[in-house]
Structure 1
Amino acid sequence: MSPRIAPLALTGPVVCRGQVLDLPEGLYDWVHVEVDAPVAGEHTVWLYYTGGLDPEVLVVPGGTAGWTRVGVARRDTLVGVRLPDAPELVIRSVSLVAPAHAEAGAAHV
């Protein structure tokens, strides 16, 4: 696996109930998510940075598990993501993708 990609260890599937997933602090370009959703749709997630938080759109495919991604627009250390309050969505896995010049989990200096 590329040093730019870091899978996030989950204890099992995560039902989206508005909770915050803590992330290894670092600079990232993308948060890749494998999600089960009964229907396709868009949901708001909140990205938590050391310097604030921003809303982003999580576009989910409908039906069986599928992959989607959330762009990390702010050039600041990402520390967490608040999932939508949408119990019909189940997160199967999460991977973080660092910028081309960095390794996943590298802190902003």
Structure 2
Amino acid sequence: MKLNALTLVVALALPGAALAADVFRWVDERGQTVYGTQVPPQHRVRAVPADAPLPPGTSACEARWHRYLASAACFDQYRVVGGGLKPEAYRRCTEVPQPDPCT
């Protein structure tokens, strides 16, 4: 019984982990952190998966914004014309509410 529960947990975790690897973050020419699935060629060397650890010294507020922006980038992959979302977006992405601005 324990083995089946462990197998289920691993099976459910893998699709999310695989998808998270498809969303990247990088710093653009203006010093802004960008999240997306299509990394421009000039940023491919420095792009990391969005779920990679954040740099040391990242504030709690910045971490909340990181989770929100990574979530938005994931959902962007499933947008359709007119602004709707494909149903699988909710199975593959974690919905994160927009945090308050950092002060």
Same fold (TM over 0.5): no
Higher strand share: 1
Which of these two proteins has the greater Rg computed from alpha carbons? 2
Q: TM-score, normalised by structure 1?
A: 0.28
